[in-house]
Every structure is written in C-alpha cells, then in structure tokens.
Amino acid sequence: MAIDLKKLSKKQLDELIRRAEMRTRELEAEVVEKAREEVRAFAKSKGYTIEELFGRGRKKRTRRKAAPKYRNPANPAETWSGRGKRPRWFTAALAAGKKEKDLLI
C-alpha cells in the first residue's frame, strides 16, 4: 500500500500521522499484553500465580512531613523544614546578615 505523500494536504498528512501514531500505540499494547499472557501461562504451568511470584505490585512510598527546623523571626507562623527550595523570608534574612543558626528553632 503506497501512499503518495506529495498529493496530500497538510490536514490530510496530520490526520495520517495521528492515525499512524495511534496504530503504533495499539500494536505496542498488543505486544505487551501478549507478553503478559505468556508470563501468566508460564507461571500457571508451574503452579503459581503472578501475585504469588511478584506480590501485589509496588507499594507507593510516602514521605512523612518533616518537622520545622527554621522560624521566621519577623513572622513566627512561617517555618521551614530545611527541605526543598528556600523560602523568600529565609533568603532575605540571610541577605540581611543573619546566619542559618540564628534562624533555628
């Protein structure tokens, strides 16, 4: 099936590309599903289920909230744990000449 691309308009080309990408995703999904079925069949032939061999899936790790480590002297309600990007009040305090140890709780 040869398609003369020079005869297609931009709209037709965009539609052809969209359909080709969609078909590519479908084919990839079919290959993955076939592999899954083969693995399930192999496990079953050995007398196991996938869950018995690999568990129920990954558990999402949650990170507990860190306790505040620094406090804004101008507004005691503002705190920072020391994780992530520095808050503006912390950066401003350092620029004003304070030291990190001065802002510790």
Q: Compute the mean pLDDT over every residue in the chain, rounded to the nearest whole number.
A: 91
**H/E segment holding residue 70:** strand 70-71
- Give the DSSP H or E segment for 93: helix 88-95
Structural domain includes residue 3: no
Q: CB within 8 A of 19, min separation 6: which ones?
A: none
Query: Is the confidence at residue 25, as pLDDT, over 90?
Result: yes
Indicate whether 23 belongs to any domain.
yes
Same structural domain, 45 and 14: yes
Domain count, the chain: 2
Q: Which domain holds residue 42?
A: 9-54
- Give a yes or no: residue 65 inside a domain: no
Q: pLDDT at position 60, please?
A: 74
Query: How much is the pTM?
Result: 0.46
